[in-house]
Amino acid sequence: MGVIPKGAARLLGRMPALLAALLLAAAAATPAWAQPSGWTQGDQHDEDADDGFTVAGLNSATSDTDTGLRFQQLPNNCGSVRLRLGGGSQDRFAYYYYNDDTRQSGPYRLDDFRAPLRDNFHFRLYFRDQYSSFQDGIARITMEINSFGCSGGTPGTRNLVWQVEVIDAWATLASHSE
């Protein structure tokens, strides 16, 4: 067997430290525009659904019903986002694009909608009036959000699952009867 010379053994012993120093120097030299960006929550963002949705009320609605949920997460260094509802959510939910309290467009459910989310622009989620099979329980909304138009690193896809409770008012009243 061969013997490793003393100088080579010392160099090999220092390799982890040299490699770490090299990686740190490379990271420090990476310009900010080349580093991936994250997501910042806007003032209009609200993950708390309203209360009081009933099976009878949603199944007989003649217009879409606001859930109280608002999406406004802004990707840093990016101009716009694309929002898509997940497969199970497309039948029961739709979303509209808003600027403050003014509806700009919608409803969307099957479409990928690309929009700038700056200032007070945001998405609002609604129960669809065309869906008439709501049941007692938790209704889940799944969304996939991507960013585009970024001046640098692009943050990864956001996959969100939000929940809204739907109650059967008659069953609730019956359970409290004496």
Q: What is the pLDDT of residue 66?
A: 96
Q: What is the pLDDT of residue 13?
A: 53
pLDDT digits (tens, 9 = 90+) for 7-27: 544 544 554 554 444 434 433
Phi, psi of 32 (to 5 degrees): -60, -35
Token output for 107: 């409803």
pLDDT digits (tens, 9 = 90+) for 132-169: 999 999 999 999 988 887 887 777 788 899 999 999 87
Q: What is the DSSP string of 70-91?
A: EE-EEETTEEEEEEEE-GGGTT
Q: What is the DSSP string of 5-48?
A: -HHHHHHHHHHHHHHHHHHHHHHHHS-GGGSPP-EEE-TT-B--
Q: What is the DSSP string of 106-118?
A: EEESSS-EEEE--
Given pLDDT bands bounded at 50, 70 and 90, which one contains residue 67? very high
Average pLDDT over residues 125-138: 93
pLDDT digits (tens, 9 = 90+) for 70-121: 998 877 778 788 888 988 899 999 999 998 899 988 888 776 777 876 778 8
Q: Is this prediction's pTM over 0.75? A: no
Q: Find the helix or strand (DSSP H, E) in which 172 lies.
A: helix 169-175
162 in Cβ contact with 141 (< 8 Å): yes
Please check the confidence at residue 178 and state whether its pLDDT lies above 70. no
Residue carrying structure tokens 């929002």: 83
